[in-house]
Amino acid sequence: MNFGQLVIVVLTYNLLAFGNGSALLALLQHRLVQDAGILNLDQFLYAYALGRITPGQNNLYLASIGYMIHGWLGALAAVICMQVPGYLVLPVLKVYERIRHDRSVQGFVRGLTAASVGIMFAVGFNIGREALIGLVPWIVFLATLALVFLARRGLLVGMVGAAALGLVLKLGLAL
């Protein structure tokens, strides 16, 4: 993937994301991991994890992906491409404010939201199918779910806890 193609992919997918960086995962995984083979699944998940624990926008993982593909210039281009759609949508917001109470517009927005949730579920399922092989990944997965949903400790605590548990289990099993 050349630099121009990276810019077009990141910009286009960001325009389609409607503010939800996680919704990009399915598109990016399919394009960069499955189709083009530019990144493997571990690299893709590493970039996603870095972006999730970094303060800032929800889709900051795109900077990590840009860096992995084209270095600092790729990271900078990805950050710029993350910002542009937000500014392009400002005129649309003016129109939306006038029509948002219309039932058909509300139905359209609910449909977009449902589609976004469905895409995120599909991505989670596909990544889980490839990543949850063996006992350690399943233990870490279930412990993370417990931390985030049952103990209500938040995503950052869940990710740090998962990383620590994974490290302890891998080192413990290696001994």
Q: What does the alpha-carbon distance between residue 157 and residue 162 come to, in Å, rounded to a whole number?
A: 8
Instruction: Identify whether the C-beta of residue 33 lies closer than 8 Å to the C-beta of residue 46.
Output: no
**Closest Cα partner for 136 from 102, 101, 173?**
173
Q: Residue 121: how many CB atoms within 10 A of its CB?
A: 11
Q: What is the pLDDT of residue 19?
A: 54
Tell me the three state secondary structure of residue 15: helix
Q: In whole angstroms, what is the distance from residue 55 CA to residue 60 CA?
A: 9
Taking only the tens of pLDDT, the chain with its 175 residues reads 899 999 999 998 888 775 566 667 878 888 999 888 899 988 998 888 888 777 777 788 899 999 999 999 999 999 999 888 888 888 888 888 999 999 999 999 899 888 878 887 887 888 888 888 888 889 989 988 888 888 777 777 888 888 888 889 888 876 5
Distance CA(114)–CA(110), nearest Å, equals 6
Q: b/e map of 88-114 (b: 16 or more CB within 10 Å)?
A: eeeeeeeeeeeeeeeeeeeeeeeeeee
